[in-house]
Structures are given as structure tokens and as C-alpha cells.
Amino acid sequence: MISNATQRLIFRGIHLVFSIPILGYIYSPFDKLPAYAFKTRFVFVPLMVISGLWMWKGHVVRRFISKQSVEADAAENLAHDRG
């Protein structure tokens, strides 16, 4: 498992790297937009949004996932003990 600081650094890097092509899309000449459009809409923006959301609310997602796995383990152990 990597530390929280390393994880934040990785997600910040991803967020910044994927924002560069979006800035290029915004500030490029109008005749160059079709070349950038598909990659920007379907690759760069979603990855930037996901990395931003993970930096913002990733702790809630991790807590929710770990809580579900603990509850599933407890239910499995209870079923195993009864059977």
C-alpha cells in the first residue's frame, strides 16, 4: 500500500497532465478544433474529472468500500458458523 502523500502526488500529477491538452483545445485556432475534439471529450476531460473527484472525495469512497467489505466478511463468517 502506498502512503496517502504519494497517492495525492500521483493524482495531482494526473490531474495536471490531463489539463494541459484541455487548455490546448480551448486556446487552439478554430480550424484545429476537430483534431482535438474526440480525445479531449472522451479521454482528457473524464480522466481529469475522475482524478479531481478522487482527490476531493476519495477518502469517502475508500471508507465506503472498506465498510462494505467488513460487513460482507462478517455476513460470510456468520453464514459459515451457522452451516
pLDDT digits (tens, 9 = 90+) for 27-77: 888 887 888 788 888 998 998 898 889 888 988 888 888 887 777 766 777
pLDDT band at residue 83 using 50, 70 and 90 as cut-offs:
low
| H-helix or E-strand spanning residue 12 | helix 4-27
Q: How many domains does the chain have?
A: 1
Q: What is the CA radius of gyration of the chain?
A: 20
Residue length, the chain? 83
pLDDT number for residue 76: 73
Considering the entire predicted model, what is its pTM? Answer: 0.65
- Is residue 7 pLDDT above 70, yes or no? yes
- Is residue 78 pLDDT above 70, yes or no? no
Taking the C-alpha atoms of residue 81 and residue 26, their distance in angstroms, rounded to an integer, is 60
Domain holding 52, by residue range, is 4-82
